[in-house]
Amino acid sequence: MSVLPLVFTSGWASGINAYAVVLLLGVFGATGLTDEVPASLQRTDVLIVAGVLFLCEAVADKIPYVDSVWDAVHTVIRPLAGAVVGALLAGQSGSLSDIAAGAVGGSTALASHFVKAGTRMAVNTSPEPFSNIALSTAEDLGVAGIVTFAMFNPQAAAIIAALLLAAGLAILFFLWSRIRRFLRRRAQRREEKRLAAEEREAAARAAVPPR
């Protein structure tokens, strides 16, 4: 049970930025700041891949609509990362079964991922891009700060993560109407593009003289 707060916090953070979590935990373990990080997360190849993917997410996450596409792709990746990290953390300490820790990390990551993805859908209804940049930066700093805090105060960090998750779910509930408008507009744009393509194709056929 002693590792459960760290598993929960890493799961919450993985749902927002899984690559940042893997990178931070690996760096903390490799530099000797903590003994809780398994050796598999400290490997050089893992750190390099996590760093490159973190940079990709840092860019994609700040571009309107691109961030929502990125979130859709990571609907499976983030919960899976949370489950794997949780299982690895528990496996090293031996105080919690790998399956239970994976379930805690994965389910927490899935919940925070839905909060992140849903909030971005609501933000993307705004025409200006600055809110995306501000929200993405706040998320990156929040993940870095809480994961770092969890290395030294795991219980307190878990409480903060739980409060942030609860607040995010509450905000997502109130933003649902805005999200539905976003989805309707996206479906309408797709339909307009389809109709325009059909009109261009019909015009091209009409312009071809009969033989």
CA atoms within 13 A on the CB side of 201: 6
Token readout for 167 is 């607040």
Amino acid code (one letter) for 35: D
pTM (global) more than 0.95: no
3-state secondary structure of 127: coil
Instruction: Measure CA of the first residue to CA of the last residue in the chain; give whole Å.
Output: 81
- How many residues would you count in the chain? 211
pLDDT, residue 210, reads 58
pLDDT, residue 211, reads 60
Q: How far apart are CA 94 and CA 62, in angstroms?
A: 39
For tokens 């995306």, what's the residue? 132
pLDDT, residue 32, reads 87
Token readout for 103 is 């379930």
- Where does residue 111 rank: exposed (0-12), middle (13-18), buried (19+ CB within 10 A)? buried
pLDDT, residue 70, reads 93
Residue 114 host element (H or E): helix 98-123
Q: How far apart are CA 113 and CA 13, in angstroms?
A: 9
Instruction: Please check whether residue 136 is in contact with residue 123, taking contact to mean a CB–CB distance below 8 angstroms.
Output: no
Q: How far apart are CA 10 and CA 40, in angstroms?
A: 16
A 10 A CB-CB count for 184 gives 10
Residues of the chain below pLDDT 70: 1, 92-97, 127, 207-211
Residue from 101, 112, 115, 103 nearest 176 by CA: 115
What does each C-alpha distance from 76 to 57, 72, 116, 154, 186 come to in angstroms? Answer: 15, 8, 14, 26, 22
pLDDT, residue 204, reads 73
Token readout for 112 is 């925070």
Q: How far apart are CA 30 and CA 151, in angstroms?
A: 13
Alpha helices in the chain (DSSP H): 4-30, 44-60, 66-93, 98-123, 130-152, 154-174, 176-207
